[in-house]
Amino acid sequence: MITTTKPAPRVAARAGTAPRARRPLRTWLVAGAAYLIAVIFLLPYLEMLVMAGRPNNELGRATIFPSHFTFSNFTTLWSGGGLGGSIGTSLQIAAGATVIVLLVALPAAYCTARHRFRGRTAFLLLVLTTQMFQPAAMLVGIQREFINFGLPPTLSLIIVNAGFNLAFAVWILNAFFSSIPVELEEASMVDGLGRVGALTRITLPLAAPGIVTALIFTFISAWNEFLVALTLSLGESPTQQPLTVAINNYIGQYSVDWGHLFAAGLVATVPVIILFAFIERRVVSGLTAGAVK
Amino acid sequence: MNKKYPRRLSGAALAAAAALALAACSSGSGSSSGGGSGTTTLKLVVADYGTGPGNASSKYWDGIVTAFQSAHPDIKVNVTSIAWTNFDQQVQTMIQNKQYPDITEGDYFSNYAQDGLLYSASDVLSNPGNLLPGFKNQGTFNGTQYGMPFTTSSRTLFYNKKLFTQAGISSAPQTWADVQADAAKIKALGDVGFGLPLGAEEAQAESLLWMLGAGGGYTTDGKYTINSPANLEAFTFLKGLVAAGDTEPNPGTVNRTDLWQQFAQGKVGMINGSPALIPIIQKAGVLQSSDWTSVPIAGKSGPLTVTLGVCDNVAAFKPNGHQAQIKEFLDFAYQDKYQLQFDKEYDLLPATTSATKALSSDPVFAPFLTALPNSVQYPSDTSWANIKTKIQQTIGTAVTGSPATELGQLQQIASASAS
Amino acid sequence: MPAALRRLNLVRLAPLLWLGPAIALIGVVVLWPVVVMVQSSFQQIGGEGFVAGYNGTKNYAHLFNEPDFVSVLLRTLVWVVVVVAVTVFISLGLAQLFHQQFPGRRVARWALIVPWAASVMMTALIFKWALDPNVGVINVILHHLGVVKQLGSNRADWLGNPTSALAWMMGVAIFVSLPFTTYAILSGLQGIPRDVYEAASIDGATSWKSYLGVTLPLLRPAILVATLINVINVFNSFPIIWEMTRGGPGYETATSTIYMVELKQGDVGQSASMSVINFLLVIVIVLVYLSTTRWKEQVDQ
């Protein structure tokens, strides 16, 4: 509550009267600006909500608000021609990728955090540099490689998404494991827990925030992935395609039923936003770890 | 810090995710053609001719498939329907991924035949002679017919009589000069004078209509002449039309589907259309049947006597080895009753001689049918696939930039790949 | 037990067990495609995906001769530089603002992350619809304000004209990049101890001077990382341009990633060579940026 001499070039202190009155005024100005910006950031998604409730026959009308809010766009999601089936496929891919990432990243990060072995720096460097690789950049390579594997597209997408999110997971888990003092584990081993016991009873719970972060980040990243999904899943029927692809194919049909599309978008986006709210702070520190501190 | 909560969350999430992953693995393998118990599954990929979910093409095909599957219990058919603007790209990607369909209905490229991917028409049809002979050429590669016409249509000029009367125009446009004058008058009313769709969805069709108007075309005597003087003339005229604001803005980014909708809403004066535009107008409910009509397409000095005959093809793919089953299905699907059903549903024209005969007495269809034999078609060589893509993507810039440069570049590509 | 095992050389290999799956997954999914990509760029592969043989450097020659190649590359550079620069600039201000204490700060901060969590494709689609010349909400509002005289006119067709389309798409790209960058800088700000500021103000520095002289240099690591990650993301940004204009008209709003995907339809080999160039370009940009900011001091652990 103490806004002292923090430099704030964006919000110049108004020529206030007494020092006491200046503080609340400035705080409210700052708050006002922040609220305004928050609203601006939310505007497009509020618009999506408005559109999702727009009745079909008003799609051609140039009005800002629909005459009334209708749920029909949501109810048709799971009927024929709806986008609901794709939500299930996206769920499979995102969940599958998340499981694989956790299973693979946990041991790797733990080993890296606890042991100073030869090649550790090399491994960390590998992880760091692969964070910079984007699936879109290597589309042709991925496509040609996975054709030869002959896997069903959903499985291919699970593997691809897992691979590209692995680096971040290892990075953040490594940071978390490193911050847990070895003494805690050793103390519990002295108390009679085996090594595995120490791991599961002491280390993992303490690292839980990092695990949850990696989990949710991978999930969201796989859920929203577009280009590789578009390339690999085209041979499937629409309900077997992830949501991003299904929505893309929905555009260009007839004249787009934006109401239905945004209803599907809402169903896809809102849970993700809520999930993300849990982890945003750690994601940033995870991505900038090692550089900021 | 609530330590237990995240742990339970992680645990539950892990369990759920593992279950889902297992489900993904098992369901993923079941979707391809599993021939374990004697059932073959055919993968049918079709283009969507519908104007809304109500008459989506998947409905038409689902009807045929249901009837077919009850007559042939050992063959299952999976239908995937794709919007026209994505059709080429997605089928191409499927083929790149080795996720071969069994049958496609939409566009077809002789490249597939060249790569040995297709069955010939006689391999998969009992009576290939029933297919309209006029379109045999464009489905032929190396002397064998691979592309089987499924539906055809011809193009005419539609105009909004109501807007014409409002603008004080009393007669239908017949020449380019008419088009220009009429469009300017309609623009003064605040509507779009001439709807010119040069967007990626079907730019090759609209362009060809104007090229024909000047006596040009994509090829001359079998060789590509995209930047011929006649074609340049056509695009220079169009550029003038666009610059004067007589068309919708930025035609290179507008697709036929959107403009047809706008015409149906009464906001466009003139547009090149096919019979398929008629149900769209009727569904929009804005124009009465007396408010619009269709006439031959306007050419430089008079109406066109040849028209663009568009033909969508069925192609049968070899790699899955389902020749017998494909034959059963195609024989079934090509029956007259289904051809006529498709034509009545989408106001398009049939592709078999027998169906054409059955339809020739219908007053709505008869005039279009008589024009068909005289129609110009797209090129059918193996380089057309690549050129068509480039035309769709870039020809719109010829009316906002320099026609000579754009058409010249397209011609370069054509000469390079045709050699 | 541990002491005895340690003497065996097997222990040296133990990390491999723990790291093995990770290395394998990264190798297969992230590294091997690079090899395949480079290999494909030297092969003749048509649009159907069949390898017709070795093609030497013809794919590259063909690519460089494409009429749109140079403009696509230039546009990509402009795209990356403008989007990243503007994003970082605005984020510095936003972070400063949200670093202040005020009531409801948590809620306001939460709103900031929404564009980051929502898929970029969905955001792009919202804007595409909102810019529809006839019914889009942005045009409707502008129409009421008198900026757009007539709906459906050229003025309202923001996405049809390459220049205005690029401007809007850059806006969207900046919009979706702001959350992460702001948060990165915020966490950097939070790491700056208070006494630094107090020392500066005792020395008589004005708030602007202390910002430039104290805050910014201390923020350097955060800005560095944020810029790097942004450059890589923005360079490969696909959904925005794909959904809003498909790179059209022609290729006039296409960046290298879009161009690569368009090329893939007709000639996979050529598309692969575009990918390789794309890849090298990112590496070059990143290296240039790193060398100008002396990164090693910051990242050494």
**Mind giving me the DSSP string for B47-87?**
E---SSGGG-HHHHHHHHHHHHHHH-TTEEEEEEEE-HHHH
pLDDT at A259: 80
* Strand blocks (E) in chain A: none
Give Cβ neighbours of residue B419 (< 8 Å, ≥ 6 apart).
Answer: none
With a cut of 80, say whether residue A16 has pLDDT above it. Answer: no
pLDDT, tens digit (0-9, with 9 covering 90-100), for A214-223: 888 889 889 9
Residue A227: which residues within 8 A CB-CB, separation 6 or more? A135, A136, A139, C238, C239, C261
C262 with B393: Cβ contact below 8 A? yes
Q: Is the predicted pLDDT of residue C18 greater than 60, yes or no?
A: yes
C272 vs C133: CA distance, rounded Å: 36
Q: Residue A288 has what pLDDT?
A: 60
The larger pLDDT score, comparing residue C174 to residue C47, is at C174
Cα distance from C93 to chain A (closest Cα, Å)?
Answer: 6
Measured CA to CA, the distance from residue B416 to residue B412 in angstroms comes to 6
CA angle C89, C91, C97 (to 5 degrees): 120
- Considering only CB atoms, A9 lies closest to which of C111, C125, C207, namely C207
Could you tell me if C49 lies within 8 Å of chain B, comparing CB atoms? yes
Which ranges of B267-306 does DSSP label H, i.e. alpha helix? 277-284
Contact C100 A11 (CB under 8 A): yes
The reported pLDDT for the residue numbered A290 is 44
A292/C225 CB distance under 8 A: yes
The CA distances from residue C240 to C123, C177, C287, in Å, are 8, 12, 26
Percent of chain C that is helix, strand, coil (3-state, to 5): 75, 5, 25
The strand ranges marked E within chain C are 43-45, 51-54
| Residue A234 sits at the chain B interface (C-beta within 8 Å) | yes
Residues 4-43 of C with CB under 8 A from A: 12, 14-15, 17-19, 21-23, 25-26, 28-38, 40
What mean pLDDT, rounded, does chain B reach? 84
- Cβ separation B249–C46 shorter than 8 A: no
Return the pLDDT at C293. 66
Average pLDDT, chain C: 84
Query: CB of A9 within 8 Å of any CB in chain C?
Result: yes
B141-176 exposure pattern, b = at least 16 Cβ within 10 A, e = fewer: beeebbbbbbbbbbbbbbbbebbbeebebeebbbeb
Measured between beta carbons, which residues in chain B are less than 8 angstroms from residue C262? 393
Whether residue C249 has a cis bond before it, omega within 30° of 0? yes
Shortest CA gap C34–chain A (Å): 6
pTM value is 0.83
Q: What is the pLDDT of residue C294?
A: 59
Q: Is A75 an 8 Å CB contact of chain B?
A: no
Highest mean pLDDT, choosing among A268-277, B142-151, C210-219: B142-151
How close, in Å, is residue A80 to chain C by CA atoms? 22
In sequence order, what are the residues at sequence separation of 6 or more whose Cβ sits closer than 8 angstroms to the Cβ of residue B306?
Answer: B212, B374, B375, B376
Q: Do C153 and B249 touch (CB under 8 A)?
A: yes
Sequence-separated (6 or more) residues with CB below 8 Å from residue C62: C267, C270, C273
| pLDDT digits 0-9 by tens, B194-206 | 999 998 888 999 9
Q: Residue C267's pLDDT is what?
A: 85
Q: B317 pLDDT band (50/70/90 cuts)?
A: very high
- A6-10, B264-268, B271-275, range with the lowest pLDDT: A6-10
Contact C280, C270 (CB under 8 A): no
Nearest to C47 among B92, B394, B396 (CB): B92
Instruction: Pick from C16, C18, C123, C231 the residue to mutate for testing the A interface (most A CBs within 10 Å).
Output: C18
Q: Identify the pLDDT of residue A18.
A: 47
Residue A194: pLDDT over 80: no
**pLDDT value at residue B416:** 80
Chain B residues with CB-CB distance to A165 below 8 A? none
Contact B354, B127 (CB under 8 A): no
Q: Would the CB atoms of A154 and B56 count as touching at under 8 Å?
A: no
Predicted pLDDT of residue B10: 41
pLDDT of the residue at B31: 39
Residue B316 has pLDDT above 90, yes or no: yes
- Burial degree of B384 (CB within 10 A; 0-12, 13-18, 19+): buried
Distances (CA, A) of A155 to A229, B21, B151, C137: 11, 8, 37, 40
- The mean-pLDDT minimum among A275-279, A286-290, B109-113, C66-70 falls in A286-290
Contact flag B99-A81 (C-beta cutoff 8 Å):
no
Q: What is the pLDDT of residues B83-103, one digit of tens each?
A: 887 888 889 888 888 889 999
CB A142 within 8 A of CB A135: yes
The answer to whether residue B104 scores a pLDDT higher than 90 is yes
Structure-block tokens of residue B191: 């509507």
Structure tokens at B259: 């403009």
Instruction: Return the residue of A nearest to B52 by Cα.
Output: A254
**Taking 70 as the threshold, does the pLDDT of residue A247 lie above it?**
yes
Percent share of chain A, pLDDT over 90: 15
Q: How far is B46 from chain C (nearest CA, A)?
A: 19
Q: What is the mean pLDDT of residues B131-144?
A: 85
Q: Which residues of B touch C (CB under 8 A)?
A: 88-89, 92-93, 95-98, 111-112, 115, 117, 190, 192, 199-200, 245, 248-250, 252-254, 262, 267, 385-386, 389-390, 393-394, 396-397, 400-401, 406, 409
SS3 C238: coil
Quick: pLDDT tens for B158-206. 999 999 999 999 889 999 999 999 999 999 988 899 999 998 888 999 9
Question: Which residues from chain B sit within 8 angstroms of residue C247, using beta carbons?
Answer: 393
pLDDT of residue B61: 92
Any chains having at least 3 CB pairs less than 8 A from chain B are A, C
C171–chain A Cβ distance below 8 A for any pair: no
Mark which residues 225-284 of A lie under 8 Å from C by CB: 226-227, 244, 247-248, 251, 256, 258, 261-262, 265, 268-269, 272-273, 275-277, 280-281, 283-284
pLDDT at A253: 57
Count of alpha carbons within 13 Å of B23, Cβ hemisphere only?
A: 15
Please give the residue that has the higher pLDDT: either A251 or C61: C61
Tokens representing A32 are 């006002």
Q: Tens digit of pLDDT for each residue in A148-173? A: 888 888 999 999 999 999 988 888 88
| CB within 8 Å: C160 and B250 | yes
Q: pLDDT for A97-127, tens place per residue?
A: 999 999 999 988 888 888 887 788 888 888 8
Which of B86, B97, B258 is nearest residue A255 as measured by Cβ atoms? B258
A60 near C CB under 8 A:
yes
Q: Which range (A33-47, C186-200, C273-287) has the least confidence? A: C186-200
At residue B58's C-alpha, the angle toward residues B52 and B63, to 5°, is 120
Query: What's the confidence (pLDDT) of residue B44?
Result: 93
Dmax (CA) for chain A in angstroms is 75
pLDDT surpasses 60 at B30: no
C225 near A105, Cβ under 8 Å? no
